[in-house]
Chain A
Amino acid sequence: MDMKVSKKLGLKERYTMMTRDLAWDTTFQPMDKVFPQVGYEGIKIHDWDKWEDPFRLTMDAYWKYQAEKERKLYAILDAFNQNNGHLSVTDARYINVLKLFLGSTPPLELMAARGFSMVARQMVGAGPRVACMMQSVDEYRHFQTQIHSISNYNRFYNGLDEFAHQQSRMWYLSDGKSFFDDAITAGPFEFMVAIGFAFEYVLTNILFVPFISGAAYNGDMAAMTVGFSAQSDEARHMTLGLECIKFMLEQDPDNLPIVQRWIDKWTWRGTRKLASVGMMMDYMLPKRIMSFKEAWEIYFEQNGTALFTDLARYGVKVPKCFGQTIEEKEHITHQSWIGFYMKPDACPFHTWIPAPDELDWLSEKYPNTFDKYYRPVLEHFDRQEKAGKRFNNKTQPMNCQVCVSTIKFNEPGDPMEMCFRETVYKGEKFHFCSDHCKEIFENEPEKYVQTFISSHAALQGKCEPEGTDVNAHDYRPGARMHAYWRMDKRATGDFNGSEDQKNFAKWRAQATKN
């Protein structure tokens, strides 16, 4: 009889056998040729084995859990669609949140999927490689489930049908595009700080609150289920981002200034990106969850303070922009909504002036700023609209060279003054929305001179539908933007009087009355 005593493996030891024990240091090809990208950003890693796996999930367990989640999710989506679930949302204005979401979020999840594949290929350690790969396929899951959950809305409402075409062409989507293009064109470690840490860890709650709780509050079981189903993935992603920061900081003290610069940069870039998310919370959800200001206080100020207190032992300081974001939390959502309202011809979603009770809600939530600065503007627009003189800004905006936002935010400390910054590089003048964006540019001017700014590119004849002759004598730049965007006229302008509004009312009556 075989008397060999069987070795029992502990969980950690077993996971090591299942992951990093599979890897070896290559010898027929030098390691720096196999993994060519880990050195050039200046991050020093001495021992990849010191990486602590933030979660230990072998593939069998991964497939088991994920398959269970997918089975439930698609069962709910199918039932929701079959039962005309779209008619159970609070009111048809809600669907405009989905339009903004579909244009802005699945395309960025897709960039995260590709970016994490790249980082997974480039990381030397097997631990981070496996975690990044898993996040990459999770991100495929996220953009696909998001598209699948909204697909049925597209059959009934306008403005969702061309999101794939518009992702790289629509002016207001370029801030998100530039964010992810910036991250994916950086090296692997900066990508991890940008997406793994700043986006997934510091800011992800602010994204989830309006979409997922917003969906739950507004009767959209499809989007709600997608969000809840993604939460356990997100929990893994957050721990990966944090582990990566800690790993870099523990490996070498020289990494600290590099990591700090990235934290400063990406927290700011993420904050700018969130202005339009906050606008959904304050203006677009018919049934509101909380104000953007309240969400910012809980998820950024309180949680962020706790996080950076924890990271202080590595010498990390709170992001430079922290103070400015606290001041801005009372302004940016109003400035963003007013900005979109003023461009009724240029967005595939509807805008509106909040109803009187909604204006009162905003006054209550923003006691320091709303009545003083923004309510008068909205009431003025409302009077003009009712008088048949709906405000319509047909000019090209000025955009920030770094975050690509329309320059519309106020001067710090002075809400009545627009904030402009500029710098000259190689004889050319570049414009910015803030000191932080200017500083990001000045750290890497060769990168940011490349930014694709559609308002500029359109004037240069670079945003035309296929087949346009930009040398024709009667050519007018930007005259055919709607064709370039493939924008359905029915999707634009005011919610009041829109086809969505009429159809929703008609269909809901059909579903609820005899």
Chain B
Amino acid sequence: MSMDLRTITIEPLRQTFGHLARRMGADKPASRYMEGTMDLQPVENYHYRPTWDPSHDIFDPARTRITMKDWYALKDPRQFYYGAWTLARGRMQETATADFDLADELGLATGYPAAGKKVINEVLLPLRHVAWASNINNSAVAAYGYGIAISQAAAYACMDQLGIAQFITRLGIAFDEIDALAEAKQDWLEAPVWQGLRHYVEDMMVMDDWFELFVTQNFALEGLLFPLIYDKLTDRLNAAHGPVLSMLTRFQREWFTENVKWVDAVLKAAAADNPANKALLGEWIAAARQRSVEVLTPVAELAFGTDGAAVLDEVVQQLNARAAKAGIPV
């Protein structure tokens, strides 16, 4: 039986805010994502020019070569406003924490075979610094991007990457490999295998164009690195040593699958806006893909030995398919 619960009904004067009604073309209820995102960044009547960048306004579309008729077309298909984002991450961290607790309780990580640990120490642990670099680079997009649609999603991605760096650190701690974290940092700073990648992420830290940075970091580099590690490498280690590594990297794997939706939607919207964007995105992706492959080749060899090149090629094909789906010829 269902009860007919009644509340007092009052006829509202309007359904939503003026800027949202104009955007939707009708006065109808707007989602919380829209209310918390659309048309909120100031666009006019700035009082002062930045003392740190006097050639631009505080928020200035000219900080990238991409142009948009509507910057809020770069919206997030996940519809993440703060509440939705933090609830999603809250659930993910709850699962991850339970996984880490279980692994600890059953001794799954400490009992992991030495051969597997060696690969984790050498290949996975240095990636906490790559995540930190991504955190820095996404904070630049959050800071200098145009419009709240892109700035808030980048701010959340920035925190996500900090979370990923911390989950990798936790992995090291769970495997009882605190010294290995120090060695991994040493490798990151000095071992030849990592220097190309470190050079690349440091170059990104001085990139002027925030959209190019977004493409380079979030689409190209991560689009290759995450499948390489959290798909291909975990598969390989699982086959040899059981699935505990997949369990303890679940956050990263689930995060990547979800984050890709945002990254690809942004590229698709920018490419669809005008042909110049599309050409520029194609150029950026081609250049970033090439250099990403170069710097990831030694990492792939470290992880997969002689299969490295072939595995890397597989993930390059995945990346090309994503670009094609976003309407960008590369």
Contacts and interface: CB of A to CB of B under 8 A. Distances in A.
Nearest to A183: B48
Contacts of B159: 59, 62, 133-134, 137
Contact of A21 (B81, B158, B181): B181
B276 interface: no
A4 B175 CA distance: 12
Contact of B18 (A26, A162, A184): A162
Contacts of B206: 29, 33-34
Contacts of A114: 41, 59, 142-143, 151
Contacts of B162: 59, 130, 133
B217 interface: no
- Which of A34, A155, A451 has most B Cβ within 10 Å? A155
Given A114-B143, A145-B83, A452-B45, A184 B155 contact: no
Nearest to B43: A168
A261 to B, nearest CB: 15
Contacts of B18: 161-162, 164-165, 486
Contacts of B325: none
Given A2-B110, A63-B163, A121 B87 contact: no
- Which of A133, A148, A163, A510 has most B Cβ within 10 Å? A133
A510 B132 CA distance: 58
Interface stretch (B196-204, B231-239, B240-248, B263-271): B196-204
A511 interface: yes
For chain A, give the interface size range. 35 or more
A9 B147 CA distance: 42
A510 to B, nearest CB: 6
Contacts of B52: 36-37, 40, 185, 187
Interface string A170-198: 00001001100110111100000000000
A35 B31 CA distance: 38
A157 interface: yes
Contacts, number: 253
Nearest to A451: B47
Interface residues of B, number: 84
A121 B140 contact: yes
Interface stretch (B61-69, B89-97, B285-293, B308-316): B89-97
B178 interface: yes
Contact of A84 (B8, B87, B156): B8
A22 B47 contact: no
A500 B198 CA distance: 61
Contacts of B32: 144, 148
A64 interface: yes
Contacts of B170: 18
Contacts of A63: 86, 89-90, 92-93, 163
Interface string B117-146: 000000000001101100110011011100
B93 A64 contact: yes
B13 A110 contact: no
B47 A164 contact: no
Interface stretch (A44-52, A67-75, A336-344, A354-362): A67-75
Nearest to B97: A60
A144 B47 CA distance: 24
A450 B89 contact: no
A453 to B, nearest CB: 9
Interface string A112-149: 01100110110000100110011011001101110110
B185 A21 contact: yes
A375 interface: no
Interface of A: 2, 4, 6-7, 9, 14, 17-18, 21-24, 26-29, 33-34, 36-37, 40, 58-60, 62-64, 66-68, 70-71, 73-74, 82-84, 106-107, 110-111, 113-114, 117-118, 120-121, 126, 129-130, 133-134, 136-137, 140-141, 143-145, 147-148, 151, 154-158, 160-165, 167-169, 174, 177-178, 181-182, 184-187, 404, 447-448, 450-452, 454, 457, 486, 503, 507, 510-511
19 contacts: A6-B110, A17-B178, A22-B131, A40-B52, A59-B89, A60-B96, A60-B167, A107-B40, A121-B136, A121-B140, A121-B144, A126-B132, A144-B32, A164-B40, A168-B44, A169-B44, A182-B48, A185-B50, A451-B48
